[in-house]
Amino acid sequence: MASNITFTMIKPGAVRNGHIGAILNEINKGGFKIVAMKYTKLSAEKAGEFYAVHKERPFYGELVEFMSSGPIVAAVLQKDNAVEDFRTLIGATNPADAAEGTIRQLFATSIGENAVHGSDSDENAQIEANFHFAGTEMFS
Ligand code: ATP
Ligand code: MG
C-alpha cells in the first residue's frame, strides 16, 4: 500500500443521523481520493481491539460500546500529507473545540460521539487500513 494514506471511519452516530453523504462530500472537497471503502459493523471485540491503546482510559468501555452500536463506513483515503491534512479537515476531538467548518464541528454531537475517526500517524494509518481491508480491496 502506498504511503500518503490515512484511515477513517464515519462513526455509528453520524451514520444514524444521516450524515454519510455529507461527510463523504467534505472528504471529496478536501482533495482526498477514496482508495477503499465499506459499510460494515464492528463487533465489541473488534472495536476494543481497534482502540486498545485507550484500554486504561476511563472512557474506554463507553467508546467500545458506542463504536459497536451500529454500522460504520470505513475508508482508506489518499492525498499528499494525508494524516495531518485529514486531522485538520475533521477538527479537534471535542467538537466544542473544533474549528468552524470542520467535519466534527459540523456533524459531531459530543466528544464521545464525534462523527469520524482519523489516523494519528503514517504507521497507524497502515495498521488501521490493514485491520479493515485486504490488499485486494484497496485501489490506489
Ligand atoms: P479518533 O482516534 O477516534 O480519531 P482522536 O484521535 O481525536 O479520535 P483519541 O484521543 O484517539 O482522539 O480518542 C479516541 C476516541 O475516544 C475519541 O474520538 C472520542 O470518541 C473518545 N474520547 C476521547 N477522549 C474522551 C473523553 N474525555 N470522553 C469521552 N470520550 C472520549
Ligand atoms: Mg485517535
Show the domain range for 75.
5-137
Which bin fits 116, alpha (ψ -120 to 50), beta or left (φ > 0)? beta
With CA atoms as reference, report the closest residue to 19 among 124, 126, 122, 115: 115
Domain total of the chain: 1
| Per-position pLDDT tens, the chain of length 140 | 546 999 999 999 999 999 999 999 999 999 999 999 999 999 999 999 999 999 999 999 999 999 999 999 999 999 999 999 999 999 999 999 999 999 999 999 999 999 999 999 999 999 999 999 999 999 98
Atom of ligand 1 nearest to the CA of 66: 20
Ligand 2 centroid distance, CA of 117 (Å): 7
Query: Is residue 117 lining ligand 1, measured as CB closer than 6 Å?
Result: yes
Distance CA 72, CA 42 (A): 8
Give the pLDDT score at 140. Answer: 86
Residue 98 sits in a domain whose CATH number is: 3.30.70.141
Query: Is residue 69 lining ligand 1, measured as CB closer than 6 Å?
Result: no
Which bin fits 54, alpha (ψ -120 to 50), beta or left (φ > 0)? alpha
With CA atoms as reference, report the closest residue to 76 among 26, 13, 126, 120: 126
Residue type, 95: P
Query: Which ligand gives the minimal distance to the CA of 118?
Result: 1
Helices (H), the chain: 12-16, 20-29, 44-50, 60-67, 82-90, 103-107, 122-132
